[in-house]
Amino acid sequence: MGRVFSGVQPTGNIHLGNYLGALKQFVKFQENDECIYCIVDLHSITVPQDPKALRQHILDVAALYIAIGVDAKKSTVFVQSDVPGHAELSWILTCNSYTGELSRMTQFKDKNRGRESAPTGLFTYPILMAADILLYDTNIVPVGNDQKQHIELCRDIAIRINNKYEGTFIVPEGSFLKEGARVMSLDDPTKKMSKSAENPLSRISLLDEPATIKKAIMKATTDSEGSVRFDIENKPGISNLLSIYSAISGKTIEQLEKDYEGQGYGNFKKDLVEVVVDALAPIRENFEQIRYTDELVRDLKAGGEAANEIACKTLARVKDKFGLGL
């Protein structure tokens, strides 16, 4: 039995890429492992946020955790900023990392493209992520494929500190899905599906109505060949839809290619609509039942207390290794 940690930013509605890349794994791990799942609100303020909206989004994400099947009685679910240790450990890790390795992060490059200067928090974001993970002596981190570089940085920092002060941190492993882990935009399959994209039909959100899901899938970019075949380089649009279909249905891409051989994209898209709608319907129903309950807030507060207890023990060990405090 290992300890699992992961988190999601409270920045609006969670989309299918978040679900298939990370959230779907959350439920699987809680059956056999000690799981700690966080709403990482400190990460969200790397860009300006409306305070009232942010608090609502925190509760939205927490309710979605429960709606997809995370059990607050089995797993620890909490809000990042309720545990001060995240920020404290982040500073210690910052003092043991380098600007060169941070400047190589591809997500920072993407978000900073076209700017003369960027918020410091956006630059140091991966260090706070490393602190989130290392604070809980984490063994496994279920995240999307787009986070691989950040997990490697976390491991590098932990190993670097362990080489100076033996036994300071457990070095975690990332857990990544092979198919559907990196869900691409529906209108531009060369880009990752994103909550911030201007076109709402570029993504499918977990709380979307069936009509919205149908419109997004039926309008999804494909190609003129009309052959349901997986080929990322030459057919990125249909390859993306195949990955989504496979990840939700459990069928292999090879099986789906056989099922739709010679049928064109119309039938394939119609069936994909049905698969996605059926998969998301219970999540939407559960969310509506959970979102505005007092129990949700109680679970988050209890989770924060449990997480803080673990965090304090880790920080005491780290500070002792570094000679901090009395």
Q: Which residues are catalytic?
A: 111, 192, 195
Phi, psi of 86, rounded to the nearest 5 degrees: -60, -50
Question: Dihedral of CA 269/272/276/281: which sign?
Answer: positive
CB-CB contact of 175 with 143 (8 Å):
yes
Q: What DSSP element (H or E) covers 284?
A: helix 264-290
For every residue of 13-33, DSSP letters joined together read --BHHHIIIIIHHHHHHTTTS
DSSP state of 47: S
Measured at the CA of 317, the angle between CA 312 and CA 319, to 5 degrees, comes to 90
Q: How far apart are CA 303 and CA 298, in angstroms?
A: 8
Please state, in angstroms and rounded to a whole number, the distance separating the CA atoms of residues 284 and 13: 12
Separation between Cα atoms, residue 60 and residue 135, nearest integer Å: 25
Radius of gyration of the chain (CA): 21
